[in-house]
Amino acid sequence: MSAAEPGLTVALVGNPNTGKSTLFNALTGLRQRVGNYPGVTVARKSGQCDCGDGTKVELIDLPGLYSLSAASPDEQVVIDALSGHLADDRRPDAVVVVIDATNLLRNLFLASQLSELNLPVVLVLNQADVAAEQGLKINTELLSRRLGGIPVVLTSAWKGEGISAVRRAIGEALRARVRMPAVEWPPLVEEALADVAAGVAADIGRAPGRADVERLLFDSTTSVGQRLGWAAPRRDVVIRAARDKVRRAGYNPLAAEPLIHYERLRKLLEGVVQGGGNRTGGSAAVDQVLLHRVLGPVVFAGIMLGMFAAVFWLAKFPMQWISGGVDALKLGVAPLLDGMPMLQSLVTDGMIGGVGAFLAFLPQILILFLFVSILEDSGYMARAAFIMDRLFSWCGLNGKSFVPLLSGFACAIPGILSTRTIEDPKARLATAFAVPFMSCSARFPVYALMCAAFIGPLYGPGWESVVMVGMHCVGLLFAVPTAFVLTRFVLKVKPQPFVLELPRYQMPKPRDVLWRMWQNAAEFVSRAGTVIFAITIIVWALSYFPRDPAVEQRIRATAVGVAPAVVDAQVQSAYVEQSWMGRFGKSVQPIFDPCGFDWKITVGVLASFPAREVIVSTLGVTYSVGEGAEADSKHLQQVMRDAKWTEGPRVGTPIFSLAAILALMVFFALCSQCGPTVATLAQETGGWKWAAISFVYMTALAWLMAVAVYQGVSRLA
Amino acid sequence: MNLETVLIGAIVGAAAGWLVRRWLAAARRRKAGGCAGDCGCAAKIQPKK
C-alpha cells in the first residue's frame, strides 16, 4: 500500500475506561483529555496515524460504549459513524476495538456485535501490564485464530508498550481486510432476522444492513426504524411476529442477543486466558476507606480543602512576581508615551492594567489543574462520582449526571454537551439545567481575587481555602434543590439505576498531567490575549471618554492648598465618574445597591455577562483609570482595599467590606454570566425556552442571595 | 484630529470589530450544529436527516 493512498479512515471503539483515549493519543501524537470516569469522550476526535509502513490513516476516536444498542445520543453517534450514516463521514475502512485485557469476556461482547458490520477488525487487548500483575496469561495467537485470523495485539497504552504493533496491525488489517466471523444464531432466531430483513425490503424498497436488522429485532427503541423510514404500524406487526419466533427458540427477544453472544464468547475464550484470581488486591482495601459511607465524604472534603490550600500557598510567590512584573511594565512604558496622555492611559491603565490583573491568576490555574489531573488520572474522580451519586440520586438526577456536573467545574459548555450520554431526555434536560450552577474555572479568578485581597489578609491564609471550598459548594447547594424541584415536580423524571465502573488506581503519568496543565495555561493566556484584551480596550474607552476639560478646571480651582497628588487623584476620579461607563454604572447602581455594590463593581458585574472572568480586568481598568498614576505603583488588590464610598449613607467606609465581598462572590457563584453557556443550553435543549428560563432564574437567584448575604452579614458584623 | 486620536479610534474600533466578528462566527457555528463555546473543539457529528 502506498503512502499516498488518501482517505483511509479507521475508527477506534471500545468500552469506557479501556484506555482508548490514551491509545488514541499514543497513535496520533495528539493529546486528548484522559479521564477515569466513563463518558469522557463526547465530541468527534480524529488524528493522523502512521501504520509504520508509510501508510497514513485518519484515526477517529469514538465515544466509549458497552453495546450497539443505542440508548443515549452519544451511543447513537458511534453506531451511525460505524454504519456510515453520518452526514459528513463515510463508513470507516477498518475498526480498532480496544478491550480491557483484564476483562475479556465482558469487553468482547461489543467486538462480537461489531462483527455484524462486516468491517476489518484489529483487536487491541489494552492494560496488559495490569493483566500480568493479576497473573493473567492471554494466548493472543489462539484468540486470533478463533476470531478468523484478525490481528490481536497486547498493549499497555499508558506505558507506551505495543503501540508499534498496533500501527502494524492496522496496516495489516487494511491490506488483508480480514473480518471477524459473525455470531451463529440459532435457526429460529436466524429466521426471525430474515423475516425482519424481508419486511424492511418489501416496505422501503431496499435491503437493510445486517446490523440494522439486528437492532430492529433485539432493541426496544425505534431509532433504526425511523432512520430507515420504516414506519409503524406495518413495522410493529413484522417485528412482533419475528419476536414470537425468537420466543419459540427459547429466548426473551430483548435478552436473546447478549445471551447468544456470551454463549459464543465463553466457548471462544476456553484456553485463551489462564491464571488470574488476583483481581482486587490493593484497590479494594483503599476503596474500603475512600468509598466508606462516612469516611468517604470526609476524605473527599479533606482532599478538596487541601487542594485549595495548596493552590493558594504554592501560587502566592509566582503571583507576586507576575503582579510585580506588570507594575514594572506599566512604570517602564508610561514615560515612553508622556506626550500622549490618552494613549498612555490606554496602554498602561487599559491594556497592561486590565490584562495584567487577569494574568496574575495564571499560577493558581496551573496548580489547580495539576491537582485535578492527578485526581482524575489516579482513578480517584470515579470514586468521587460514587460518593456524590448518593446526593444526586436523592435530588432525582440520573446517576450519569455526575460526569456532566463534574465537567461543569471546569467549564459548563463541555458539561452541557456531555449530557448526551444520558438516555432519558428529561434527566438530560434537568442535568443540563443544573450544570451552569457548578463553579467553573472562570469563576475561580473572581474568588481568588477576593480571597487574596481580603480574606487572607484579614482572617489568615487558612481561611482562603475554606472560603474557596465554600464558594465551590454554593453552586452545588442551589443546584441540588433546583434539580429536585425540576425532576420531581416539573419534568417528573423516573429514577434510574446508576452503574459505575470503578477504574483501578494508577500512578498518574507526568506527561499527561503536564500536558493538561499546559493546555489549560495556553487557553488561559490565549483568553487574556484575545477576548479579555479586546474587552479591556472597550472598557477602557467607556471609562475614559468623554473628557470634558471643565471637570479638571473646576476641581483645580477649588483645591487650594491641597497636595498635587491628591488633586490629581480627585481629577482622575471625577473624570471616570462622568465617563460613559461611570454614568451608566451610576444609573444602574441602585439595582445593586442592596447587594452592597458601588457603581464600579456594578459596571464590572454588567461587563461580565458575556464572560464572568471579565470582572477582574474591568476592575483593573476602572480602578486604574480612576486612581490615576498612583495606581500604577499599587497592585489592584491594594487599590481595592483602599477604596471607600464617596457618597451616600456609607460615605467613608470601605466599599469592599466582608459583607460586600461575600455578596459579590455569591452573586458570581450563582449568576448566569456566560454567553456561550446560554447559547449551548439553547442548542442542546432544542430551543431558547430553557436557556431563557435558566438565565432569568440564575440571575434573579444570584441577586436575591447577594442581597440576603450582604444584608445578613452587615447586620451581624 | 491629531495622530493620538486617530490611533485610539483605530485600536478601539479594531477591538470592537474583532469581538463582534467573533460573536457572529460563534452564532454561525452554533447554527450549523457546532459548538458555540471557546473550547476550540471540532464540529460535532450531525446525523444524516
**pLDDT tens-place string over residues A254-313:** 888 889 999 999 999 998 888 765 555 567 778 888 888 888 889 988 888 888 888 878
Interface membership of A583 toward B (CB under 8 Å): no
What average pLDDT is seen over chain A? 83
Same domain? A51 vs A116: yes
Domains identified in chain A, total number:
4
Report pLDDT digits (tens) over A338-350: 888 889 989 988 8
**Residue A334: inside a domain:** no
Q: What is the dihedral of CA A356, A357, A358, A363, to 10 degrees?
A: 90
Single out the residue in A176, A196, A228 at which a domain terminates.
Answer: A176
Same domain? A600 vs A702: yes
Classify each residue of A79-95 as buried b or exposed e, where b means 16 or more C-beta atoms within 10 Å of its C-beta: bbbbbebbeebeebbbb
Classify each residue of A541-555 as buried b or exposed e, where b means 16 or more C-beta atoms within 10 Å of its C-beta: bbbbbeeeeeebeeb
Helix (H) or strand (E) segment spanning residue A192: helix A187-204
Same domain? A500 vs A584: no
Q: Search chain A and give the residue with CA nearest B13.
A: A538
Higher pLDDT, A104 or A227: A104
| A74 — pLDDT class (breaks 50, 70, 90) | low
Same domain? A582 vs A451: no
A32 pLDDT exceeds 80?
no
C-beta atoms of B30 and A87 within 8 A: no
Query: What span, in angstroms and rounded, lies between the C-alpha atoms of A14 and A99?
Result: 6
Predicted local distance difference test score (pLDDT) of residue A500: 66
Same domain? A199 vs A306: no
**Residue A129: inside a domain:** yes
A4 pLDDT exceeds 80?
no
Residues of B in contact with A520 (CB under 8 A): none
C-beta atoms of B36 and A676 within 8 A: yes
Predicted local distance difference test score (pLDDT) of residue A507: 83
A36 pLDDT exceeds 50?
no
Mean of pLDDT values over A7-23: 86
Helix (H) or strand (E) segment spanning residue A58: strand A56-61
**Residue A356: inside a domain:** no
Residues of A in contact with B25 (CB under 8 A): none
Predicted local distance difference test score (pLDDT) of residue B42: 39
How close is the nearest chain A Cα to the Cα of B33, in Å? 8
Report pLDDT digits (tens) over A393-431: 777 776 677 777 877 887 787 778 777 767 677 888 899
Cell of A612: 464572568
Predicted local distance difference test score (pLDDT) of residue B40: 44
Residue A204 DSSP code: H
Give strand ranges (E) for A160-301: 273-275
Residue A437 DSSP code: G
Q: Are the beta carbons of A426 and A491 closer than 8 angstroms?
A: yes
Predicted local distance difference test score (pLDDT) of residue A42: 44
Predicted local distance difference test score (pLDDT) of residue A663: 96
Q: What is the dihedral of CA A621, A624, A626, A627, to 10 degrees?
A: 170
- Number of Cβ pairs < 8 A linking chain A and chain B: 94
How close is the nearest chain A Cα to the Cα of B20, in Å? 10
Predicted local distance difference test score (pLDDT) of residue A634: 54
**Residue A266: inside a domain:** no
CATH of the domain at A90: 3.40.50.300
Chain CA centroid to CA A609, Å: 20
**Residue A571: inside a domain:** yes
Predicted local distance difference test score (pLDDT) of residue A590: 94
Same domain? A637 vs A671: yes
**Residue A406: inside a domain:** yes
**Residue A290: inside a domain:** no
The Cα diameter of chain B in Å comes to: 58
Same domain? A582 vs A678: yes
**Residue A420: inside a domain:** yes
Is the ipTM value over 0.85, yes or no? no
Query: What span, in angstroms and rounded, lies between the C-alpha atoms of A383 and A505?
Result: 10
Per mean pLDDT, which range of A282-286, A462-466, A489-493 is the poorest?
Answer: A282-286
Q: Search chain B and give the residue with CA nearest A86.
A: B47
Residue B45 DSSP code: P
Q: What is the dihedral of CA A579, A580, A584, A586, to 10 degrees?
A: 10
Instruction: Select from B38, B44, B46, B48 the residue whose CB has the most chain A CBs within 10 Å, as the one to mutate to test that interface.
Output: B38
Query: What span, in angstroms and rounded, lies between the C-alpha atoms of A29 and A23?
Result: 10
* AA identity, residue A683: Q
Chain CA centroid to CA A553, Å: 54
Higher pLDDT, A95 or B22: A95
Interface membership of B6 toward A (CB under 8 Å): no
Could you identify the residue written with the cell 482517505? A7
Predicted local distance difference test score (pLDDT) of residue A25: 83
B45 pLDDT exceeds 60?
no
Among the partner residues A85, A537, A676, nearest to B12 by beta-carbon distance: A537
Of the candidates A527, A569, A543, the one whose C-alpha atom is nearest the C-alpha of residue A621 is: A543
Higher pLDDT, A212 or A247: A247
C-beta atoms of B37 and A527 within 8 A: no
Cell of A336: 515612553
* AA identity, residue A110: L
Predicted local distance difference test score (pLDDT) of residue A571: 83
Same domain? A373 vs A439: yes
Q: Are the beta carbons of A540 and A346 closer than 8 angstroms?
A: yes
Report pLDDT digits (tens) over A352-386: 887 887 788 788 878 888 888 888 888 888 788 77
A141 pLDDT exceeds 80?
yes
Predicted local distance difference test score (pLDDT) of residue A516: 78
Report pLDDT digits (tens) over A314-324: 888 888 898 88
> Which residues of chain B from 14 to 43 reach within 8 Å of chain A, CB to CB?
15-16, 18-19, 22-23, 26-27, 30, 33, 35-43
Report pLDDT digits (tens) over A54-66: 888 888 888 888 8
A8 pLDDT exceeds 50?
yes
How close is the nearest chain A Cα to the Cα of B32, in Å? 10
Same domain? A462 vs A561: no
> Which residues of chain A from 199 to 238 reach within 8 Å of chain B, CB to CB?
227
Report pLDDT digits (tens) over A512-571: 888 878 877 887 788 788 888 888 899 889 888 888 888 888 888 887 777 887 787 778
Which residues is A216 bridged to in the sheet? none
| A629 — pLDDT class (breaks 50, 70, 90) | very low
- Give the 3-state secondary structure of residue A154: strand
Single out the residue in A176, A201, A234 at which a domain terminates.
Answer: A176
Mean of pLDDT values over A72-83: 74
Report pLDDT digits (tens) over A215-234: 888 887 667 787 788 877 88
Query: For the whole model, what pTM was predicted?
Result: 0.65
| A627 — pLDDT class (breaks 50, 70, 90) | low
Single out the residue in A250, A266, A282 at which a domain terminates.
Answer: A250
Same domain? A658 vs A556: yes
Helix (H) or strand (E) segment spanning residue A470: helix A461-485
Please state at what angle helix A531-544 crosses helix A580-592, rounded to 10 degrees: 100
Q: Are the beta carbons of A413 and B39 closer than 8 angstroms?
A: yes
Q: Are the beta carbons of A624 and A357 closer than 8 angstroms?
A: no
**A399: domain range?**
295-314+361-508
- Give the 3-state secondary structure of residue A137: strand
Predicted local distance difference test score (pLDDT) of residue A657: 92
Residues of A in contact with B11 (CB under 8 A): 346, 537
Per mean pLDDT, which range of A433-437, A537-541, A589-593 is the poorest?
Answer: A537-541
Cell of A663: 455578596
Same domain? A207 vs A170: no
Q: Which residues contact A330 (CB under 8 A, 6 or more apart)?
A: A348, A352, A353, A356, A632
Which residues is A9 bridged to in the sheet? A58
Predicted local distance difference test score (pLDDT) of residue A6: 57
C-beta atoms of B27 and A534 within 8 A: no
Please state at what angle helix A187-204 crosses helix A210-218, rounded to 10 degrees: 110
